[in-house]
Amino acid sequence: MITILAIESSCDETAASVCRDKVILSNVISSQKIHEKYGGVVPELASRAHLQAIVPVVTEALEIAGVELKDIDAFAFTQSPGLIGALLVGAEFAKSLALAFDKPLIAVHHMQAHVLANLIRPINTENKIPSFPFLCLTVSGGHTQIVVCESPLQQRIIGQTLDDAAGEAFDKSAKILGLPYPGGPLIDKYAKTGNPDKYLFPEPKIDELDFSFSGLKTAFLYFIRDNQIKNENFVEENLPDICASIQARIVSILLNKLKKAAAQTGIKDVCIAGGVSANSGLRNEFEKLGKEEGWNTFIPKFEYCTDNAAMIAITAFFKYQDSQFEDFSVVPSARTN
Ligand code: KG4
Ligand code: ZN
């Protein structure tokens, strides 16, 4: 049995998880609240908050899992992509532990890990997981990708955003509405009681399997501005309908491309992943589309959709099996590649 301690610190969550083989024993997440008042993540503040949180978060993850540091077979961390100062905290912490306990060090790609969140089985259940090759729509605050996952460590991107990510489309729309950061979950909340057909927003015409959200953002900005000129209380009076309508358009842009990708590849096991896969509109429409198309659909448990270390741990487990270890010269990288 292989026990791994994984650390995730790429953005504004400090997270640690212990997994034993493919079972997650603990999954602790500390979300940084400091960024709310700035309307977005402030990198310098994120690094400082990671430094404050990392010891308590790792300690709690070990306690919940019922293991001690000496029981850990390998230490894993998120290497890229992310905020460099934030990544450095997790990377150096994992390195120090690996050095002190003389155990292997494993570097994990954050986006690959989001996809592999679909392979996490809850303890004591027979919960089904996708078969290879499977398709995954990975939608987060920084990325929007359609990936063919051939095996745990072989993933091929077949479509991606040319500008904003889906999470940014949610967060920027929320900001235009005067909602605090991160606005995605709030749009989701207000959309629940709104009419998604009330306002029609444009669907961009982008080739093949790629995405674009910047045109939608501009259209939304002008729509709100024009309506506020006519009625200064337009947003307050129509918030649920506005949220439901913009959410419906973001979701339809995502799912139309996913449908195209499934048709092109002929793959029937289809997953979603990343922070935006926590969106209830996307989850419902994805399940509905899956039924229509005859797909086997998979969505990670809610806590494994937004940033977490359990997904880093499971990815590290596969890397451990493949002896993909790092030496201590390894450094994190802000970039995707
Ligand atoms: O994967 P994630 O936690 O972090 C990154 O890797 O970026 O994704 C964060 C993104 C944010 O843009 C956030 O607004 C969005 O996921 N998000 C949501 C929901 N929950 C998180 N967007 C829409 N509806 C939600 N329920
Ligand atoms: Zn993420």
Q: For residue 253, what pLDDT band results from cuts at 50, 70 and 90? A: very high
Domain 3-120+305-321 identical in fold to domain 134-299: yes
Å from CA of 47 to ligand 1 middle: 20
Q: What is the mean pLDDT of residues 309-333?
A: 97
Provide the β-strand partners of residue 27: 17
Residue range 51-92, pLDDT digits in tens: 999 999 999 999 999 999 999 999 999 999 999 999 999 999
Q: Give CA separation, 118 vs 130, 172, 296, 316, in Å.
A: 7, 28, 12, 14
Mean predicted confidence (pLDDT) in 107-119: 97
Reported residue count of the chain is: 337
Contact 245, 201 (CB under 8 A): yes
Classify residue 159 by its DSSP letter.
Answer: E
Predicted TM-score (pTM) of the model is 0.95
* Mean of pLDDT values over 83-106: 98
Residues lining ligand 1, CB < 6 A?
11, 140-142, 167, 170-171, 182, 184-185, 188, 274-276, 278-279, 306-307
User: 3-120+305-321: what fold?
Assistant: Nucleotidyltransferase; domain 5 (3.30.420)
Q: Which atom of ligand 1 is nearest to the CA of 247?
A: 23
Max intra-chain CA distance, the chain? 67
Among 3.30.420.40, 3.40.50.300, 3.20.20.220, 3.30.70.1450, what is the CATH number of 134-299? 3.30.420.40
d(C-alpha 290, C-alpha 313), whole Å: 29
Percentage of residues in the chain with pLDDT exceeding 70? 98
How remote is the CA of residue 182 from the centroid of ligand 1, in Å? 8
Q: What is the pLDDT of residues 7-28, one digit of tens each?
A: 999 999 999 999 999 999 999 9
Q: What is the pLDDT of residues 126-184, one digit of tens each?
A: 668 999 999 999 999 999 999 999 999 999 999 999 999 999 999 999 999 999 988 99
Provide the 10 A C-beta neighbour count for residue 55.
12
Give the residue, by CA position, lying nearest to ligand 1 atom 1: 275
| Residue 36: pLDDT band with limits 50, 70, 90 | confident
Q: Ligand 1 test: best mutation among 181, 276, 282, 336, most atoms within 8 Å of CB?
A: 276
The pLDDT score that the predictor gives to residue 126 is: 63
- Spans of all domains in the chain: 3-120+305-321, 134-299
